[in-house]
Structures are given as structure tokens and as C-alpha cells.
């Protein structure tokens, strides 16, 4: 027999039965991003194909419909489209993005990022947040590049430069939001590459309150814009209906117009907010609609939302009344900028309100930029609110109102507590402990933690007036002293000369029926055998040491 002395290459162990092979999580995230983009494209493709089939006079074949669907998918990301078949022969850009259509890719990307960050089983591999974000983004952008190339041969091709930064921007924000939501929305410390001064400043409550106040003011402006648009549609109902019916006579065309109008409702809300703020919105390079007047725009296309524009001519008290919207927004910013603490100074409150106004102006400017864009060449190259003018107006309105409102609300919340009134001829009662605010803060925290365990305290006027004279000093017969336990190292407070006694507070809800207690035999009260012990110290009982 020959013995083998050299070591050979060890054979790989055979796979154990019952152990499932793990799937590559990174590849699954890439596929998830690609599927999210495909679902958005498929939804729009099905919608366009249905409208193309139901149209009695289609302009092109199914290939043209699919190219149009790809263009609409890119438009949902904010990409500017270019229309070449114009009457003048000059290419006309289409840059007004229906903001409701943006929700489709955002929700799909966010869902893909959340699914990539979650593990269905315990033994399944979970990638870090950065890996999930990058993988989903790669899959989505790959499909986006293919869609951009495919839409170039359709009736409305996408501008490559516009698509190169709009599609990644929407994908990055949506994927980051999905990963953050999957991780439980953590609000931990900022990364180490952020400067230390910025990290220390961000954690202050001032900036969180400013963000909340600015977001509240922006929401109030959007709600006011929606009210302005709704009132204008109701006021010009006949013109809106005539414009809707005159565009097309078939149900498929009217359904398409209705869908387009619905997707433009968020844009109309932002336009209404810009109108209420004062700068208004542009309907061309030389036409602007403001509350002070509207010169008219004869070259506008027929569309139901455009039929609800204000009447031509100078402003009226009805159009001036829209100034209520920014006033309410300023009040909201001032209200939300106040902290519920007495140690905050008035300067800190005013600074927080001013920062909230800055946040509201920035948010409004961003929304105005997203809701506007070109609708053609020449006069229609400017269409919608001007973002910098709208943001500056929002900052001016909210800043001018929020700072005084915040200071006034802070002064009202931190006003001194109403102590007992001093008798005539005596000095006022020194009630600094009740005026400090510590008692109110601690009592509110106790009530919040205890829930319904602490009963509501109410003062009965009749009972309080009957009990109050009883505590006044008066000549009474000798009373047998009763031992009262006093906490250790806490001496009983000595009476202060000149301090007015407080009325006894009766707690409602306690049933102290004497009939429930055992009866005691009536008889003379005898003095105790030993004087009461006050301030006794109780020692814990110790076990004897083991022998």
C-alpha cells in the first residue's frame, strides 16, 4: 500500500439538507428599483392605450401612444418635453408638471426602498441603509435612461439635459424617504462629516419649532389657495362648463381632459396661494394676474381651469379679500413658534418666529417653482407664479405677523399666576413660588402620566366659604394634641407674619360617609399616656448574621 503524504485541496462540504440558500439581497433591490420604474411606465401606457383605442380619430398608431406614455412618465418627474408638430414650425417646450402625477413615481420608489430594507424571514440577509438606497437607485435610473431614449422618437420627446437631473432628483428623494421610513424614522445624530457647530445648532429646540411653524404656515397658504380656486370655479361655473364641453364631443376626449384637470389641481392650489400673497401668476411674458387687477390674456388656450381666471379690469373688494389667507398663515406661524416653557425669553421666541417665516418662504418658493414652467415659445415661455417673488411675499407676510403674535402668545402663557388678594391695609402677598411656573409644569406632567388616577380638583364656593372661617385663629378650648407624622429632615414650615391663609380646597368625588366607618363608643376623651413623638426615625430591620 502506498501512503499519501502530500496534502490535497480539501473538498467543499456538501450542503446540509433543510438549509435554504440565501438570495442576493443587493440584486433583489436592483430588480425592485427596476420594477418600480416599470410599474409606473406600465400604468401610464395602459391608460394611454385605452384612450387611444376609444378615440374615434387617433392621430397615430400604438407606437405613438407608447412613446407618449414614456414622455408622460418623464413629465411626472419634472422633465421638460418638447413638441415639434406646431403650426409655426418652432419647437414648443412643455414644462408645467402636473404635481398630482408626481405622486405615482414617488410612491413606487418609496415602496421599493421599504421592501428592500425589510426582511421577510429571520435568516434572510438585511443590507445596510446605504446599500439598499444605492441598489434601488441603480435599477430605477437604468430604466429611466431607457425610457428617455425611447421617448426621443415620439411626438413629445424629452429634453435630455432636463431628464438628466430631474429623474435622479426625484428618485434620490423618494428612495431616501423609503429607507428612512423602513428604519423607523430615526432622528439620531448627524453624520460625522457634518461640521460640529452645525450639529450642535440643529439639536436646539428652536429649529424644530421653526420647521413646524414654517410647515404650518405653508399648509395654511395651500389651503387658502384651494379655497380661492374653488370659489373662482364656482363663480365662473358657466364659463368653465362651456370650456369643458367645447374641447371635444366624445366621452374619451372629455375623460382625458377631466384627468388632466384633476392632475393639475395641486398646481392650481399653489397658483391660488401666489394670487392671495400678492405677486400673482404670469400668463405670458407680459401678462400677470394679481388681486389689484388683470389686464386679460386673449391668447390663452381653452381649458376649464383657465376659464376660472378673474375678470378683466382693476381689482375689486372681492379680489382684495384674498389677503385674509396670508394673514391667517402669519397667525399660524406665530402660534406654532411659541414654546410651552417659562424660561424662554422674548428674544428667543421672536427669533423662532422669524426662522419659521423663513422656512415658510422657502417652502412656498419651492412649490411655486415646481408648479410653473413654459407652455410654449414666445409669450407662453413664462407660465405660472414667479418663484422668487412668491417666496419673498410669503416671508414678508408671515414675518410681519408671526413675530408680534408669537411674543404676545408667549407673554399670555407666561403671565403671573393670580394669587390670593391681600386684605386692606396690608402688603401684597409674596407668592413667588406659584408665579415661577414650576408648579404648573410639574402638575401637568403628573396629570399626563397618571391619566384618570388623579381626580379633577374643583373648589365649591359654599363649602370653601364655610370652611375658610374655621381655619382663622380664634379662642377655643384646649384640644388634645394628635400625633402627625412628619417626613425625616423636613421641618414643618413656621408661620410667616403678614401671610394670608389660603382657603381650604375640597376635592370632589371622595365619599367619606360616616356610616361606613365602625361606630365608636361615646365618652370623655382622655389625654394620651405619653406625649406624641414628632420626627421619629424608622430604622430598617436587619437580619442577624449567620452563626
Compute the distance between CA of residue 88 and CA of residue 70 in angstroms, rounded to an integer. 25
Q: Which residues make beta-bridge pairs with 289?
A: 281
Report the pLDDT averaged over residues 308-334.
93
pLDDT confidence of residue 480:
46
Q: Which grid coordinates are listed for 491?
A: 421641618
Regarding predicted confidence, which is higher, 508 or 335? 335
pLDDT confidence of residue 197:
75
pLDDT confidence of residue 478:
45
CB under 8 Å to 524, separation ≥6 — which residues? none
pLDDT at 204 over 90: no
pLDDT confidence of residue 471:
42
- Can you tell me whether residue 272 is helix, strand or coil? helix
User: What percent of the chain lies above the pLDDT cut of 70?
Assistant: 71
Mean pLDDT for all residues in the chain:
79
> Best-predicted range by mean pLDDT among 71-75, 484-488, 523-527?
71-75
Predicted confidence band at 7 (pLDDT cuts at 50, 70, 90)? very low
pLDDT at 274 over 70: yes
pLDDT confidence of residue 390:
96
Range name among 15-29, 294-308, 395-409, 488-502 with the lowest pLDDT average: 488-502
**Tens digits of residue pLDDT in 71-117:** 999 999 999 998 887 777 778 888 899 999 999 999 999 999 998 88
pLDDT at 260 over 80: yes
pLDDT confidence of residue 6:
44
Predicted confidence band at 34 (pLDDT cuts at 50, 70, 90)? very high
Regarding predicted confidence, which is higher, 88 or 428? 88
Regarding predicted confidence, which is higher, 493 or 194? 194
pLDDT at 544 over 80: no
What is the 3 state secondary structure string of 340-409? CCCCCCHHHHHHHHHHHHHHHHHHHHHHHHHHCCCCCCHHHHCEECCHHHHHHHHHHHHHHHHHHHHHHH
pLDDT at 284 over 60: yes
Asked if 162 and 209 touch (Cβ cutoff 8 Å), the reply is no
pLDDT confidence of residue 97:
93
Q: Which grid coordinates are listed for 74?
A: 418623464
Compute the distance between CA of residue 304 and CA of residue 236 in angstroms, rounded to an integer. 10
Range name among 29-43, 252-266, 389-403, 404-418 with the lowest pLDDT average: 404-418
Asked if 463 and 505 touch (Cβ cutoff 8 Å), the reply is no
Closest C-alpha among 383, 237, 370 to residue 301: 383
State the DSSP string of 148-205: HHHHTTSSEEEPHHHHHHHHHHHHHHHHHHHHHHHTT----PPPTTS-HHHHHHHTSH
Q: Which residues make beta-bridge pairs with 94?
A: 81
pTM above 0.75, yes or no: no
Amino acid at each position: 500500500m502506498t501512503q499519501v503524504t502530500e496534502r490535497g485541496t480539501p473538498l467543499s462540504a456538501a450542503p446540509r439538507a433543510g438549509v435554504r440558500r440565501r438570495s442576493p439581497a443587493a440584486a433583489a433591490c436592483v430588480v425592485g428599483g427596476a420594477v418600480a420604474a416599470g410599474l409606473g411606465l406600465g400604468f401610464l401606457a395602459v391608460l394611454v392605450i385605452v384612450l387611444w383605442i376609444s378615440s374615434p380619430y387617433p392621430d397615430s398608431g400604438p407606437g405613438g401612444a407608447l412613446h407618449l406614455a414614456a414622455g408622460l412618465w418623464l413629465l411626472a418627474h419634472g422633465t421638460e418635453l418638447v413638441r415639434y408638430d406646431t403650426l409655426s414650425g418652432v419647437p414648443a417646450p412643455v414644462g408645467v408638471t402636473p404635481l398630482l402625477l408626481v405622486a405615482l413615481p414617488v410612491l413606487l420608489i418609496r415602496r421599493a426602498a421599504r421592501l428592500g430594507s425589510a426582511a421577510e424571514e429571520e435568516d434572510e440577509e438585511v443590507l445596510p441603509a446605504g446599500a439598499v438606497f444605492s441598489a434601488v437607485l441603480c435599477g430605477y435610473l437604468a430604466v429611466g435612461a431607457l425610457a428617455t431614449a425611447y421617448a426621443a422618437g415620439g411626438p413629445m420627446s424629452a429634453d435630455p439635459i432636463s431628464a438628466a437631473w430631474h429623474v435622479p432628483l426625484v428618485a434620490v428623494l423618494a428612495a431616501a424617504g423609503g429607507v428612512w421610513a423602513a428604519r423607523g424614522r430615526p432622528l439620531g445624530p448627524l453624520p460625522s462629516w457634518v461640521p460640529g457647530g452645525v450639529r450642535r445648532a440643529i439639536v436646539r429646540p428652536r429649529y424644530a419649532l421653526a420647521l413646524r411653524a414654517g410647515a404650518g404656515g405653508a399648509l395654511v397658504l395651500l389651503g387658502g389657495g384651494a379655497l380661492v380656486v374653488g370659489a373662482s370655479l364656482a363663480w365662473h361655473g358657466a364659463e368653465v362648463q362651456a370650456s369643458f364641453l367645447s374641447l371635444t364631443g366624445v366621452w374619451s376626449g372629455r375623460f382625458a381632459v377631466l384627468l388632466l384637470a384633476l392632475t393639475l389641481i395641486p398646481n392650481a392650489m399653489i397658483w391660488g396661494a401666489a394670487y392671495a400673497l400678492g405677486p400673482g401668476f404670469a400668463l405670458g411674458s407680459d401678462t400677470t394676474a394679481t388681486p389689484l387687477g388683470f389686464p386679460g390674456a386673449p391668447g390663452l388656450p381653452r381649458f376649464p381651469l383657465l376659464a376660472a381666471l378673474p375678470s378683466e379690469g382693476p381689482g375689486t373688494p372681492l379680489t382684495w379679500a384674498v389677503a385674509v389667507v396670508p394673514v391667517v398663515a402669519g397667525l399660524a406661524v406665530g402660534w406654532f413658534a411659541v414654546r410651552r416653557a417659562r424660561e424662554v425669553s422674548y428674544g428667543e421666541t421672536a427669533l423662532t418666529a422669524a426662522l419659521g417665516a423663513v422656512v415658510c418662504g422657502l417652502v412656498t418658493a419651492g412649490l411655486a417653482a415646481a408648479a410653473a414652467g413654459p407652455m410654449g415659445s414666445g409669450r407662453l415661455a413664462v407660465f405660472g407664479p414667479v418663484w422668487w417673488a412668491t417666496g419673498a411675499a410669503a416671508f414678508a407676510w408671515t414675518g410681519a405677523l408671526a413675530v408680534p403674535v408669537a411674543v404676545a402668545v408667549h407673554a399670555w402663557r407666561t403671565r403671573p399666576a393670580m394669587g390670593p388678594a391681600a386684605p386692606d391695609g396690608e402688603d401684597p402677598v409674596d407668592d413667588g413660588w406659584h408665579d415661577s411656573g414650576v408648579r404648573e409644569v410639574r402638575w401637568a406632567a403628573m396629570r399626563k402620566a397618571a391619566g384618570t388616577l388623579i381626580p379633577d380638583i374643583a373648589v365649591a364656593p359654599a363649602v370653601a366659604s364655610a370652611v375658610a372661617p374655621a381655619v382663622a385663629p380664634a379662642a377655643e378650648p384646649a384640644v388634645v394634641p394628635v400625633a402627625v407624622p412628619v417626613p425625616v429632615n423636613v421641618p414643618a414650615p413656621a408661620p410667616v407674619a403678614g401671610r394670608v391663609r389660603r382657603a381650604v380646597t375640597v376635592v370632589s368625588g371622595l365619599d367619606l360617609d360616616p356610616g361606613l366607618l365602625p361606630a365608636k363608643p361615646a365618652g370623655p376623651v382622655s389625654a394620651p399616656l405619653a406625649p406624641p413623638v414628632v420626627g421619629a426615625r424608622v430604622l430598617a430591620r436587619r437580619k442577624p448574621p449567620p452563626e
